[in-house]
């Protein structure tokens, strides 16, 4: 089996060539060899972001392992690696239920057979699972435990990259839970670690969390400061997630400065980008757009934002807000526009008071 | 995971866009077309979807839509929650209805109910619907001139099964279901499922 050749081709972006090599070798060797080749085939597709194409190969790889006679020892570490890669593909295609199942099934194997790197990789998918299950809102203590475990494990192994990831995840968890001081504390720790290890994505994320924490506090001045630094980085690394989050904060800054026209223009761009790419974090711009459309008394546009904010696959909002959005939507459908407007206004007032706007 | 092909027909621009986003974010529906009305070539070019979601409530337009897509369930969005209006929509060929002010999750569950042939319509509406129909033969009796397989399919059509549900129940492909249905309609000299049921089951 020419695994080093296949791996080299994948890492060089020669995916078709890698797949040709794999096809040539499929059907030869033991079940384990087959399972490894199927796994590499899946990897060649995920490396191209072709997650839907990767899934059947990961499934075949796992099936081969499960069908093998010797399912212990050397088989297990491979199964863990394939399952983790499989989880990323499932997550990217939003097959959250299956994702959750695999994460649960994998736990005993990781505890017994997983090496340090696999344990850390596994904690990352566990964290993703918690995010999905709670719709990226008010995460339970379980999330904090996982993040701290990631940091601990990374420190034991001297793995700075994973330590930064853990610190950023911790910061993100506090951000989603609206504990802004703690959010900043861990984002700053991640930034301090970044002096020891270059990681563009980690740096972008930490800056975004700093910016977002000040937005949640309603602190325009500091949000502007961090917004500038995020934009600076976007110029260098062109990270689309950081850019869209920075733009969402920019729309909010315009709103707070009563420049409503510019706020709507920017907010609309963010909304279109996010919906075009199926981002789940729509409340960051949808609540703002709802407020802006309400100022213009455009209840049809308000209802559109309310409708999308209530989608089961969109980030949760506080229950007081969603209750009012549901009431507004229902009133609008009954042509009770005054009542609908009243509900939307109440929702916006709560959002503003609680730092969601 | 199955991805269902859906056509959306909704006159209000903003709401039509909301419905498109609803489907996009569901990861289970692929919007083949999102149209303002039933007129024009665009609808004909959309191909055969698995389901249609529409805000069109006018009887004639709805009947026309049902005729244009035989075997495809049509779910109507309505602002009128009155039972009599629901009966009217179902009589015109709608497979189900949704109150316009419902939350997104409810829209998705109704569409799934219809696609999996697990439709739950309130008793009050069902009773009124039955009273509104002329008495006739019940599904299941054999229709002369049709093969036993065709009779079986007709019975399932009368029970409200979609093409997809029939193919899953009888373990045959969608293409075979469509071919059988085409033969049934030809033999009964009707154009679609509604007319076939009216002719044989309700003896209209």
- Sheet harboring B74-78: ordered strands across? B29-35, B4-9, B51-54, B74-78, B96-99
Whether B17 contacts chain A with CB within 8 A: yes
Q: Which residues contact A184 (CB under 8 A, 6 or more apart)?
A: A171, A209, A210, A213
pLDDT score, position A77: 87
Set of chain B residues whose Cβ sits within 8 Å of the Cβ of A312: 104-105, 108
Which two tokens mark B144?
Answer: 């002369």
With a cut of 80, say whether residue B135 has pLDDT above it: no
Q: b/e string for A240-254 if b means 16 or more Cβ within 10 A? A: eebbbbbbbbbbbbb
Q: Which residues contact A7 (CB under 8 A, 6 or more apart)?
A: A40
With a cut of 70, say whether residue B133 has pLDDT above it: no
Residue B198's pLDDT band (cuts 50, 70, 90): low
Model pLDDT for residues A219-246, shown as the tens digit of each residue = 999 999 999 999 999 998 888 889 999 9
Which two tokens mark A69?
Answer: 């006679």
Q: b/e string for B30-46 if b means 16 or more Cβ within 10 A? A: ebbbbbeebeeeebeeb
| Best mutation target, B103, B107, B109, B112, to test chain A (most A CBs within 10 A) | B103
B108/A331 CB distance under 8 A: no
Cross-chain CB nearest to A308 (options B1, B18, B101): B18
For residue B54, give the 3-state DSSP assignment. strand
A300/B15 CB distance under 8 A: yes
Which two tokens mark A287?
Answer: 């609540």
Distance, CA of A138 to CA of A286 (rounded, Å): 19
ipTM score: 0.85
Set of chain A residues whose Cβ sits within 8 Å of the Cβ of B104: 307-308, 310-312
Write down how long chain B is: 204
- In percent, how much of chain A has pLDDT > 70? 98
A300/B1 CB distance under 8 A: no
A308/B25 CB distance under 8 A: yes
What is the rounded average pLDDT for all residues in chain A?
93
Sort A97 into a burial class: Cβ within 10 Å, 0-12 / 13-18 / 19+.
exposed
Rounded to a whole number of angstroms, the distance from the CA of A334 to the nearest CA of chain B is 6
**Region of A137 on the Ramachandran plot (φ > 0 left; ψ -120 to 50 alpha; else beta):** beta
SS3 track for chain A = CCHHHHHHHHHCCCHHHHHHHHHHHCCCCCHHHHHHHHHHHHHHHHCCCCHHHHHHHHHHHHHHHHHCCCCCCCHHHHHHHHHHHHHHHHHHCCCHHHHHHHHHHHHHHHHHHCCHHHHHHHHHHHHHHHHHHCCCCCCCHHHHHHHHHHHHHHHHHCCHHHHHHHHHHHHHHHHHCCCHHHHHHHHHHHHHHCCCCCCHHHHHHHHHHHHHHHHHHCCHHHHHHHHHHHHHHHHHHCCHHHHHHHHHHHHHHHHHCCCHHHHHHHHHHHHHHHHHCCCCCCHHHHHHHHHHHHHCCCHHHHHHHHHHHCCCCCCCCCHHHHHHHHHHHHHHHCCCHHHHHHHHHHHHHHHHHCCCC
pTM of the model: 0.82
Whether B38 contacts chain A with CB within 8 A: no
Rounded to a whole number of angstroms, the distance from the CA of A93 to the nearest CA of chain B is 8
Q: How far apart are the first and last CA of chain A?
A: 57
Helix, strand, coil in percent for chain B, rounding step 5: 50, 15, 40
Sort B14 into a burial class: Cβ within 10 Å, 0-12 / 13-18 / 19+.
middle
| Best mutation target, A311, A317, A335, A340, to test chain B (most B CBs within 10 A) | A311
Whether A303 contacts chain B with CB within 8 A: yes
Residue B153 belongs to what H/E stretch? helix B148-158
Residues A91, A93, A95, CA angle at the centre, nearest 5°?
65
Model pLDDT for residues A39-82, shown as the tens digit of each residue = 999 999 999 989 999 999 999 999 988 887 655 567 888 899 99
pLDDT score, position B70: 85
For B9, list phi and psi in degrees, rounded to 5. -125, 110
Residue window 156-185, chain B: list those with CB within 8 Å of chain A.
none
Rounded to a whole number of angstroms, the distance from the CA of B139 to the nearest CA of chain A is 37
Cross-chain CB nearest to A278 (options B12, B24, B108): B24
A308/B100 CB distance under 8 A: no
Distance, CA of A316 to CA of A283 (rounded, Å): 8
Whether A8 contacts chain B with CB within 8 A: no
pLDDT score, position B1: 61
With a cut of 60, say whether residue A38 has pLDDT above it: yes
Whether B25 contacts chain A with CB within 8 A: yes
Set of chain A residues whose Cβ sits within 8 Å of the Cβ of B15: 300, 303-304
Residue B35's pLDDT band (cuts 50, 70, 90): very high
B104/A311 CB distance under 8 A: yes
**Can you state the angle between helices B123-132 and B83-91, rounded to 10 degrees?**
50
Whether A337 contacts chain B with CB within 8 A: no
Model pLDDT for residues B141-190, shown as the tens digit of each residue = 567 778 878 888 888 877 777 888 888 888 888 888 988 888 888 888 77
| Best mutation target, B22, B101, B102, B110, to test chain A (most A CBs within 10 A) | B101
A334/B21 CB distance under 8 A: no
Set of chain A residues whose Cβ sits within 8 Å of the Cβ of B78: none
Set of chain A residues whose Cβ sits within 8 Å of the Cβ of B108: 312
Model pLDDT for residues A259-292, shown as the tens digit of each residue = 999 999 999 999 999 999 889 899 999 999 999 9
**Region of B56 on the Ramachandran plot (φ > 0 left; ψ -120 to 50 alpha; else beta):** beta
- In percent, how much of chain B has pLDDT > 90? 37
Bridge-based pairing of strands B96-99 and B74-78 is: parallel
Set of chain A residues whose Cβ sits within 8 Å of the Cβ of B76: none
């Amino acid at each position: 089996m020419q695994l080093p050749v296949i791996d080299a081709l994948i890492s060089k972006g020669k995916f078709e060539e890698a797949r040709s090599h794999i096809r040539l070798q499929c059907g030869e060797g033991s079940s384990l060899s087959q399972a490894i080749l199927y796994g590499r085939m899946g990897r060649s597709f995920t490396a191209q972001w072709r997650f839907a194409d990767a899934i059947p190969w990961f499934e075949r790889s796992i099936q081969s392992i499960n069908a093998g006679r010797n399912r212990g020892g050397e088989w297990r570490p491979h199964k863990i690696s394939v399952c983790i890669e499989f989880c990323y593909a499932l997550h990217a295609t939003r097959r959250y239920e299956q994702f959750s199942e695999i994460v649960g099934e994998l736990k005993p194997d990781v505890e017994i057979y997983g090496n340090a790197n696999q344990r850390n990789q596994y904690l990352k998918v566990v964290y993703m699972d918690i995010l999905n299950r709670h719709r990226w809102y008010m995460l339970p203590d379980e999330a904090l435990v996982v993040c701290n475990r990631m940091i601990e494990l990374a420190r034991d192994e001297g793995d700075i990259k994973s330590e930064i990831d853990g610190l950023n995840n911790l910061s993100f968890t506090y951000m989603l839970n609206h504990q802004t001081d703690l959010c900043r504390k861990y984002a700053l720790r991640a930034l301090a670690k970044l002096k020891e290890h270059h990681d563009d994505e980690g740096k972008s994320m930490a800056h975004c969390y700093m910016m977002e924490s000040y937005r949640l506090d309603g602190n325009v001045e500091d949000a502007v400061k961090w917004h500038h630094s995020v934009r600076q980085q976007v110029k260098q690394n062109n990270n689309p997630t950081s850019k869209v989050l920075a733009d969402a904060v920019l729309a909010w800054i315009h709103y707070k400065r009563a420049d409503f026209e510019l706020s709507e223009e920017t907010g609309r761009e963010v909304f279109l980008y996010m919906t075009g790419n199926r981002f789940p974090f729509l409340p960051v711009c949808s609540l703002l757009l709802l407020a802006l459309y309400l100022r213009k008394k455009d209840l049809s546009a308000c209802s559109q934002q309310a409708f999308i904010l209530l989608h089961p696959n969109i980030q949760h909002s506080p229950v007081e807000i969603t209750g009012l959005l549901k009431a507004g939507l229902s009133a609008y459908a009954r042509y009770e526009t005054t009542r609908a407007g009243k509900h939307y206004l109440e929702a916006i007032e709560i959002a503003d008071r609680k730092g969601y706007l | 995971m199955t991805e269902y092909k859906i056509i959306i027909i909704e006159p209000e621009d903003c709401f039509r866009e909301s419905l498109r986003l609803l489907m996009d974010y569901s990861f289970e529906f692929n919007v083949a077309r999102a149209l303002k009305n039933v007129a024009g070539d665009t609808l004909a070019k959309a191909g055969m979807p698995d389901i249609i979601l529409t805000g069109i409530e006018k009887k004639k337009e709805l009947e026309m839509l049902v005729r244009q897509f035989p075997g495809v369930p049509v779910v109507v969005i309505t602002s009128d929650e009155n039972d009599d209006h629901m009966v009217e929509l179902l009589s015109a060929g709608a497979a189900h209805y949704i109150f316009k002010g419902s939350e997104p999750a409810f829209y998705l569950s109704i569409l799934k109910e219809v696609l999996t042939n697990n439709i739950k319509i309130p008793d009050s509406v069902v009773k009124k619907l039955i009273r509104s129909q002329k008495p006739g033969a019940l599904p299941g009796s054999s229709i002369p001139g049709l093969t036993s397989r065709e009779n079986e399919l007709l019975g399932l059509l009368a029970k409200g099964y979609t093409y997809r549900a029939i193919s899953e129940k009888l373990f045959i492909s969608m293409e075979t279901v469509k071919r059988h249905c085409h033969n049934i309609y030809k033999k009964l000299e009707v154009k679609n499922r509604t007319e076939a049921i009216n002719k044989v089951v309700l003896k209209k």
